[in-house]
Amino acid sequence: MSVPDLASLHALGPSQQPDYPDRAAVDVAVARLRTLPPLVFAGECDELTEKLADVAHGKAFLLQGGDCAETFAGATADNVRNKLRVLLQMAVVLTYAASVPVVKVGRLAGQYAKPRSSNSETREGVTLPAYRGDAVNGFDFTEAARTPDPQRLIEAYHSSASTLNLVRAFVTGGYADLRQVHTWNTDFVSTSPAGRRYEQIANEIDRAMRFMSAIGADPDEFHRVDFHTCHEALVLEYEHALTRIDSRTGNPYDVSGHFVWIGERTHELDGAHVELLSHVHNPIGVKVGPASTADDLIALAGKLNPDNRAGRLTFISRMGAGRIADSLPPLVDKVTAAGIEVAWVCDPMHGNTFESSTGYKTRRFEDVISEVQGFFDVHRSLGTWPGGIHVELTGDDVTECVGGGEPVTEIDLNSRYESVCDPRLNRVQSLELAFLVAEMLRTA
Ligand code: PEP
Ligand code: CO
């Protein structure tokens, strides 16, 4: 079945799309995007599908993380390296402490478009369009910045390309070599309790590697990691223009990223996002909130994965710490009973956002942990596999989420709040999360 054209997707009345003032300029940008090379290759997407099949079958754990919203200004070498570094550290902790293979997927190189609960934002009597991510408009609160500009789609492509180029260099060019396990633990993190705990694991890995080397073993896996990218497939112009036919198989792939997901606000069964992603052969995800029923999920699986291939579909639950114990079990239970192949992953971020007394959008580290614990508890009681976590984090020392072992307080939030969208775990909080999840995994 061929991919529907953009006009027929728009005819489905998609929500969360930019309101472009100049449609002709959109056509020009889309035509340009269609000429640009793929960012990822279909074969790489297939490799990730294989790995996610292991996740679905309880043989691997998915670590998916990165910014809520990447920015063009943030696509710097330091930023990308710091994000990669914290993900590598978390993966080491999870792999070593739980002896489970970890599938690493960065929320990066494409995470530039955001769904919003309101179309507009009002400040001191002035109302402007809401910020929808750098792929759509600017964050500054001016009419010029907030007007959606289709040229930004091209810039999103180039920013993704340079991020991905650097990521590829890091993961194959020596930075991700396991012998670097100590050098990842630098800066502020090494002096924190989580950093010191990490150092002990790094020492043990060192010793194991010296042993391997003494007996003459030096497997390729020591020197590079598999790392893939993901983002929310939100702006139809962008995702459609980057949907291409794979020359090996003749199948369409969305080559804007390896894994793409459909957000909580756009997963209607008959909607444009489900329609588009039903045609591409990437591994895909669907966010699942407390309003979803098991019948909804069974219908989505039927449309998005009619061949019931393991690894193709991941359900990313985002219930909130207070609701997961009630909301998740009936879904997992009935979807499992229906024989559906799916990986279950926990997003402990998006159900746990609140506004601090100081006016910041924030989350409590303790709520994040509590939702992940609830997720493990549900799967333990049903005999199913808690397949992974999907988190918003950064490699920097920001103050956006409150709590944690070196607690960030509501007063601290204004010292380094840099997110343009949702609050992210900082590097120490991310590492602490990895240790706590490793503990849960060990007993899973
Ligand atoms: C997100 O992942 O940043 C997001 C908006 O999530 P959700 O669609 O689950 O609200
Ligand atoms: Co978010």
Domains in the chain, please, with CATH? 6-176+224-442 (3.20.20.70)
Report the distance separating Cα 425 and Cα 397, nearest Å. Answer: 9
Report the distance separating Cα 240 and Cα 76, nearest Å. Answer: 27
Report the distance separating Cα 7 and Cα 329, nearest Å. Answer: 39
**What is the per-residue burial (b if ≥16 Cβ within 10 Å, else e) of 356-381?**
beeebbbbbbebbbbbbbbbbbbbee
Q: Which ligand 1 atom minimizes the distance to the CA of 287? A: 9
pLDDT surpasses 90 at 125: yes
Taking the CA atoms of 45, 283, 318 and 10 in sequence, report the sign of the dihedral they define: positive
Q: Which ligand 1 atom minimizes the distance to the CA of 265? A: 8
Q: Which ligand 1 atom minimizes the distance to the CA of 69? A: 3
User: What is the structure's pLDDT at 403?
Assistant: 97
pLDDT surpasses 90 at 20: yes
Which is nearest to 160 in space by CA: 74, 235, 226?
A: 74
Q: In the structure, what pLDDT confidence band is assigned to residue 176 with cuts at 50, 70 and 90? A: confident
Residue with the nearest Cα to atom 3 of ligand 1?
68
User: What is the structure's pLDDT at 156?
Assistant: 99
Q: pTM for the full model?
A: 0.97
Q: Where is average pLDDT lowest: 67-71, 149-153, 209-213?
A: 209-213
| Of 235, 347, 363, best ligand 1 pocket probe by most atoms within 8 Å of the beta carbon | 347
User: What is the structure's pLDDT at 178?
Assistant: 87
Tokens representing 310? 């393991």
**For helices 77-98 and 151-172, what crossing angle results, to 10°?**
50
Which is nearest to 267 in space by CA: 295, 297, 243?
A: 297
Q: In the structure, what pLDDT confidence band is assigned to residue 6 with cuts at 50, 70 and 90? A: very high
Specify whether the CB–CB gap between 106 and 229 falls below 8 A: yes
How many whole angstroms from 91 Cα to the centroid of ligand 1?
Answer: 23
Which is nearest to 346 in space by CA: 319, 310, 367, 323?
A: 319
pLDDT surpasses 80 at 188: no
Which is nearest to 228 in space by CA: 16, 41, 74?
A: 41
How many whole angstroms from 232 Cα to the centroid of ligand 2?
Answer: 10
Which numbered ligand comes closest to the C-alpha of 263?
Answer: 1
User: What is the structure's pLDDT at 122?
Assistant: 97
Which runs of consecutive H residues, i.e. helices, occur in 307-364? Answer: 324-337
Q: In the structure, what pLDDT confidence band is assigned to residue 187 with cuts at 50, 70 and 90? A: confident
Mean pLDDT (the chain) is 96
Report the distance separating Cα 160 and Cα 439, nearest Å. Answer: 34
How many whole angstroms from 353 Cα to the centroid of ligand 2?
Answer: 9
Specify whether the CB–CB gap between 324 and 376 falls below 8 A: no
pLDDT surpasses 90 at 173: no
Mean pLDDT calculated for residue range 125-147: 98
Give residue-wise pLDDT tens across range 312-369. Answer: 999 999 999 999 999 999 999 999 999 999 999 999 999 999 999 999 999 999 999 9
Give residue-wise pLDDT tens across range 234-264. Answer: 999 999 999 999 999 999 999 999 999 999 9
| Of 136, 287, 394, best ligand 1 pocket probe by most atoms within 8 Å of the beta carbon | 287
Tokens representing 169? 């260099």
pLDDT surpasses 90 at 182: no
pLDDT surpasses 90 at 16: yes
Report the distance separating Cα 263 and Cα 275, nearest Å. Answer: 14
Residue with the nearest Cα to atom 9 of ligand 1?
264
Give residue-wise pLDDT tens across range 391-444. Answer: 999 999 999 999 998 899 999 999 999 999 999 999 999 999 999 999 999 988
Q: How many CA atoms lie within 13 A of 40 on its CB side?
A: 34
**What is the per-residue burial (b if ≥16 Cβ within 10 Å, else e) of 221-256?**
eeebbbbbbbbbbbbbbbbbbbbbebeeeeebbbbb
Specify whether the CB–CB gap between 367 and 350 falls below 8 A: no
Specify whether the CB–CB gap between 395 and 83 falls below 8 A: yes
Q: Which ligand 1 atom minimizes the distance to the CA of 347? A: 9
Residue with the nearest Cα to atom 1 of ligand 1?
68
The dihedral over CA atoms of 370, 372, 373, 378, expressed in degrees to the nearest 10, equals 120
Q: Give the binding-site residues of ligand 1, using a 6 Å CB cut-off.
A: 68, 115, 232, 263-265, 287, 318, 350, 422
Specify whether the CB–CB gap between 138 and 18 falls below 8 A: no
**Strands, E, within 310-438: which ranges?**
313-317, 343-346, 353-355, 361-363, 388-392
pLDDT surpasses 90 at 224: no
User: What is the structure's pLDDT at 97?
Assistant: 84
The dihedral over CA atoms of 198, 203, 209, 213, expressed in degrees to the nearest 10, equals 160
Element counts in the chain: helices (H) and strands (E):
13, 14
User: What is the structure's pLDDT at 183?
Assistant: 87
Residue with the nearest Cα to atom 4 of ligand 1?
263
The dihedral over CA atoms of 76, 79, 85, 90, expressed in degrees to the nearest 10, equals -140
Q: Which ligand 1 atom minimizes the distance to the CA of 263? A: 8
